[in-house]
Amino acid sequence: MLEQSTLYGRAYLSEKKGKYLSSRPVSLTDLEFGPMRPVFLHPVSDERMIMEDRERDLWYDYQGKEGDLLLQDTKEEFPRVEQPFFYYYGLSRYKDPKTGEWNSHRYFVRSQPSVTWDQIPDIRQIEIPLTLQRLDYGQVFAYPDELNRFLANAPSTYVDRYKRPILRMHQQTFPVAMEKVKTKWKELPPATYPKVVSLTGTQYGVLDLEPEHTEEDQKVFEEAPGYYKEQTPRGGSHKLVWLKEPGYKFRYSPGLELLSQTQVTFYGIEGTWISDQPDAVSVADWKIIGNEEHEVKALLKRPDVSEEVAVLRQKAEERYSLTRELAARGYAKDPDPSHADYVALYKLYHSDVKPYASQFKVEELPWILEAYSEDVIPHREKHETLRNGLPYLVYLSAIIIQKEA
């Protein structure tokens, strides 16, 4: 779905992929728009929305789950909400600059588009614009007083059920990058969203015990000194700790990691304050991951690699390659999305790209691999960050290519 939630604002293409939400900015000038319909949206919940068409004097009642709704009824009058949301509604198509492929999407935009296409959407099915969905957890998250005092001035915001830091304003949900968050923990009252906090620049970290862990993992977690511990919705555990050696991430095993210098979500489930002054956690036996800097070889400006990607996709189809499907499935099993990104790129490179790498320019290969992986790797805010002047996935692609050269 394409949404522009503010007049003259940025437009975003969004797609739900399992437990991930892929969303990326696009320019309206890069799209072709079908005939538009001015509508007023009355969101009732994430499971119901009323669409008002004032030109036709009709109201459409949609209901369903996860924001994907089916038409239930059409009437000439419905109860109004206090402030409906105005959009132009229709069908658009977008040519992906990375792959050269055209894809059609329903659109809800605030700026009136120029109609250059003749297709219209099926009115019987609709999706609520993402900013009009609450995307909450359906339960209130509260925290012990000790934790509230400890994190009182830490940069914090709420996080939706797709693990995106968000701002809730005027009955709308907006994703936000943590580095742009201005609110503090103490300014956020209990809500149906958990809180995410930035630990960047501190000597604090969080032990993250996954639901699937060993008895040894459990023992190491329980014996580690800390300030506070809690359960996670998926059955894991968190423990807030103090570090003498802050890094980005330390891994004890696949079931136990230590996060620092990053954002961490707290849930308050069975939250228990342990100590005001715990000893530092020792990470002598842990593997440091995710904080190395690499010199990589790649163009700093995005080249047009749509033809190269089309060639690779054709060759993969000719060989009946299943690597794309296998790489995509990995996200359902891997609790660490950063690790899943690496594994997906690694698999795609070795199976579908490396055999033909000699046909392409060396400095363009990271961009080719990143573009080739686009519909496999669910988009996250992290992918928009830069490493050595390169988008995160391009940088990661360059590391993989150079290691395997």
Prediction pTM value: 0.71
Residue 207 host element (H or E): strand 204-209
Looking at residue 378, its amino acid is: P
Question: Which stretch of 10-24, 262-276, 315-329 has the lowest confidence by average pLDDT?
Answer: 10-24
Indicate whether 16 pLDDT > 60. Answer: yes
Structure tokens that stand for 122 in this block: 């099926």
User: What does the pLDDT average to over 152-156?
Assistant: 96
User: In what side-by-side order are the strands of the sheet with 195-198?
Assistant: 172-175, 165-169, 156-159, 195-198, 263-266
**Nearest partner of 143 among 227, 237, 267, judged by Cα:** 267
Give dist(CA 258, CA 207) in Å, integer: 4
> Using one digit for the tens of pLDDT, what is the confidence trace for 86-100?
999 999 998 876 677
> What does the alpha-carbon distance between residue 268 and residue 84 come to, in Å, rounded to a whole number?
35
- For residue 221 the two structure tokens come to 């977690």
293 pLDDT higher than 70: no
Averaged confidence pLDDT in the chain: 88
Mean predicted confidence (pLDDT) in 164-189: 89
CB 87 within 8 A of CB 130: no
Q: According to the model, what pLDDT value does residue 18 have?
A: 65
How confident is the model over 340-369, as a mean pLDDT?
91
Q: What does the pLDDT read at residue 291?
A: 45
